[in-house]
Every structure is written in C-alpha cells, then in structure tokens.
C-alpha cells in the first residue's frame, strides 16, 4: 500500500465502469500499489507528497483478540475474490468470539475493491465495506488496521499452508485451534434476490435435469483449463440429464457466447458484468466446475458441490476444508510452480500441467459428487 496527496481534483476508474471515483485536491489517500502507479503513469502531475505506509499503519500485533474488544478495526485486502473469501472466514471467527461478550462494541470493516464487495453483502460479521483509495482521515479513524496485501503472493508460508489458515495469522489465531467447519467461507443471499435473477434468464431453470456451472477461465492464463477440453467434457455429458451454465465476467462475455454457439442446446451463457447476479445464479445449481479461481470458493461458500482443476498450485492449499468437493491435481516435473501473474506458462499455453487433466477425470468426479 502507498500513501500520497492529490494536488488537483481527479476522477479514476476503468473506462468500462459507469461509476467514476472522484479524488479531491489536497486530500491524502491510501492507494493499492498498482492504482497509484497507474495514476503516476497517466496523470503524474496529480500526485504530490508521498509518505511511507508504515507511518500511518496502526498494525494489530495479534497478541490477543481481546485487544480488539471495544475497538474499531479495518481489514484491508484489495482483491481478488477468492482472497476476500479467505479473509471473510477470519473475520467471521472473530465475530463469533466477540458475541460471547455482549458488552463490547467491536466494529469490523472491510476495505476492498468494488468488484469484490459482492461476496460480502449481507455478511453479519461485517459492519461496513469501503473501497480504496481510502481517505487518510477515514483511515485514521480506526484503532487498528490489519492488512492482507501480499499475504498469498509474497509469504513463503503460502507454499505449505492452506490459504484459509494463512489468513488467520494476522489476527493472532492459531489455525489448528480453529475448527475445519469455521474455515469454510459463507455467502449470504436474501430470498428476494432470487426472483430478480430468474427474470433476467432467457429460459426457465429445469426442474428435472441437474444444473452444472463451469467457470470457463481463471483470471490468469497460467491457471486456466484448456477450453477445447471443456468442450469435449460438455459434448460427452448426457443432454437429457444436464444443463450447463458457462460463467465469466463482462470481459469474457464475447468468448463465452462464441463457446455457447458451438455447443449443444443445453449449454447457456451465464456471463455477467455483475458478480452478485452470478453468485445468486450459482446458488441455484447442483455442481460447479472451475479452474483455480473464484468460483471454487464461491461454490464452497454457497455449499454447492465443486470440482477444482489445479496445476500451478496444489488443491489442498485452497480446498482442504471444503465438503462435497474434489480437487483434481495435474502433476508434472515442474508443478506445482506456485507462479502468480497474468502471463501464460513459459512452457506452453495452455499450461502443460493442466493439459494433463482429461474430460474423463472430470466426468468421474461429477459422477462421484452427483450420485
């Protein structure tokens, strides 16, 4: 995280976003590293004085969770979606413990990107959700800050410890003293949200066929399963028994539509520019299949059976505590490589490890989970 003063009014946001965020002249903000770097690249004259993040970070030492009672705490993780669900389990554990002391008024807020907040809506453990950049005056109003930036990407423990355990550490929790069931994330949906999503569909959900969701691609090419093999999997499924819903974000919508157009009539485009819509639709399915990406954790949080496809990372580091879940690990001489980033694997695209997972492997897992 970086701290900088804006020296002239500025609007920020992606070009495809309807809502822009306004930053005000002579105000100081807490930025994600990449966000500030982009501003300095495109509008360098808008950035004034920078100060070290350590000077404004009221870091919780994790000595005792009782130190948080009666305090106001901000937990910061800019993204991605799975990481926010890792964080949410730690927050939920803290929330459960504070309930035993009705006299305390601990407030737990989350700071994350706009797209990630959809997995936190209605969460009883979270009082407020705010989006970076964060006004320094707001930042300073908290008694403690717990930052999770770089926890997956930079910590050596991320190669040996399950991610849900790893996110417990900044709170001072001992992972082996937390029950496995408490390490499964939760997403909360209001019943009123479901009819709204059903109206947006171009067809009625089948009451007789099993409904399977597929996340067509991960956010990183490195972790994406070969699409032609997803096509082989879909073609081998009995059209009279299954309907298939292809999930993805707005950027992937065109690709998904092209995929659906060459697929059987039981395959539907479930891409959306609204993550919350996708989450609610996923809650109505019988099974989710995904590469190492967000919908594995969304499915687990919705208590939907899930199949995860893994190569660069071992499935146990992500799916260890999930119920009704199967992680399929591809093993090569170079896997797991623990590589991050958006670039394809240097040894081939798609990644050679994921290319080893066959449709037959996935079919076996489907039969196991839906029998």
Same domain, 240 and 133: no
Residue 87 lies in a domain: yes
The residue with greater pLDDT, 181 or 15, is 181
Q: How far apart are CA 88 and CA 294, in angstroms?
A: 14
Q: Which pair of structure tokens corresponds to residue 78?
A: 């800019």
Same domain, 274 and 347: yes
Same domain, 174 and 215: no
Q: How far apart are CA 173 and CA 267, in angstroms?
A: 44
Residue 173 lies in a domain: yes
Mean pLDDT in residue range 212-223: 92
Per-residue model confidence as pLDDT tens digits over 284-315: 999 999 999 999 999 999 999 999 999 999 99
Residue 254 lies in a domain: yes
In sign, the C-alpha dihedral spanning 17, 214, 77, 189 is positive
Task: Note the pLDDT of residue 247.
Answer: 95
CATH number of the domain residue 243 falls in: 3.40.50.2000
Model confidence at 100: pLDDT above 50: no
- Which residue's entry shows tokens 């979606």? 81
Same domain, 25 and 122: no
- The pTM of this model reads 0.92
Same domain, 242 and 333: yes
Mean pLDDT in residue range 150-154: 89
Last residue of a domain, one of 134, 165, 183: 183
Task: Note the pLDDT of residue 133.
Answer: 95
CB 278 within 8 A of CB 270: yes
- Residue 15 — pLDDT band, cuts 50, 70, 90? very low
Residue 306 lies in a domain: yes
Per-residue model confidence as pLDDT tens digits over 234-264: 999 999 999 999 999 888 888 999 999 999 9
Task: Note the pLDDT of residue 64.
Answer: 58
Task: Note the pLDDT of residue 370.
Answer: 93
Which residues, listed in sequence order, are joined to residue 267 by a DSSP beta bridge? 244
Q: How many domains in the chain?
A: 3
Per the prediction, the chain carries an average pLDDT of 90
The residue with greater pLDDT, 333 or 136, is 136
Last residue of a domain, one of 149, 183, 217: 183
Q: Could you tell me whether strands 128-130 and 267-269 are parallel, antiparallel, or unpaired per DSSP bridges? A: unpaired
Same domain, 112 and 217: no
User: Measured at the alpha carbon of residue 38, what is the angle toward residues 36 and 42, in degrees to the nearest 5?
Assistant: 120
CB 312 within 8 A of CB 330: no
Same domain, 203 and 345: yes
Q: Which pair of structure tokens corresponds to residue 194?
A: 């479901």
CA 4 from chain center: how many Å? Answer: 27
Same domain, 306 and 354: yes
In sequence order, which ranges of 11-59 are alpha helices (DSSP H)? 33-42
Last residue of a domain, one of 183, 211, 238: 183
Task: Note the pLDDT of residue 21.
Answer: 86
- Domain encompassing residue 144: 65-183
Same domain, 215 and 74: no
Same domain, 8 and 156: no
Mean pLDDT in residue range 152-162: 92
Residue 59 lies in a domain: no
Nearest to 83 by CA among 168, 163, 154: 163
Same domain, 212 and 102: no
Same domain, 250 and 337: yes
Residue 188 lies in a domain: no
């Amino acid at each position: 995280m970086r701290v900088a003063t804006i020296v002239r009014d500025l609007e920020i946001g992606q070009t495809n976003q309807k809502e822009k965020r306004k930053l005000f002249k002579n105000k100081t903000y807490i930025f994600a590293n990449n966000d500030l770097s982009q501003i300095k690249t495109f509008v360098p004259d808008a950035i004034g004085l920078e100060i070290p993040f350590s000077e404004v970070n009221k870091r919780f030492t994790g000595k005792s969770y009782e130190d948080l009672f009666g305090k106001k705490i901000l937990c910061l993780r800019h993204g991605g979606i799975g990481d926010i669900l890792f964080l949410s389990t730690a927050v939920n554990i803290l929330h459960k413990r504070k309930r035993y002391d009705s006299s305390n008024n601990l407030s737990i807020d989350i700071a994350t990107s706009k797209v990630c907040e959809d997995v936190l809506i209605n969460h009883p453990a979270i009082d407020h959700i705010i989006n970076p950049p964060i006004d320094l005056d707001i930042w300073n109003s908290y008694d403690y800050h717990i930052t999770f930036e770089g926890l997956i990407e930079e910590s050596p423990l991320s190669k040996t410890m399950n991610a849900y355990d790893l996110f417990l550490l900044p709170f001072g929790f001992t992972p082996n003293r937390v029950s496995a069931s408490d390490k499964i994330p939760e997403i909360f949906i209001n019943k009123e949200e479901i009819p709204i999503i059903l109206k947006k569909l171009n067809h009625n959900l089948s009451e007789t066929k099993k409904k399977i969701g597929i996340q067509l691609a991960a956010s990183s090419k490195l972790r994406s399963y070969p699409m032609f093999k997803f096509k082989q999997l879909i073609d081998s499924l009995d059209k009279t028994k299954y309907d298939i819903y292809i999930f993805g974000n707005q950027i992937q919508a065109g690709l998904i539509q092209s995929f659906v157009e060459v697929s059987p009539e039981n395959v539907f485009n479930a891409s959306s520019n609204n993550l919350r819509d996708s989450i609610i639709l996923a809650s109505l399915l019988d099974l989710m299949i995904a590469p190492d990406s967000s919908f594995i954790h969304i499915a687990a949080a919705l208590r939907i059976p899930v199949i995860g496809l893994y190569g660069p990372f071992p499935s146990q580091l992500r799916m260890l505590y999930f119920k009704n879940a199967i992680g399929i690990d591809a093993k090569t001489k170079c896997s797991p490589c623990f590589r991050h980033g958006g670039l394809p694997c240097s040894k081939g695209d798609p990644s050679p490890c994921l290319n080893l997972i066959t449709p037959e492997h996935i079919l076996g897992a489907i039969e196991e989970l839906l029998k």
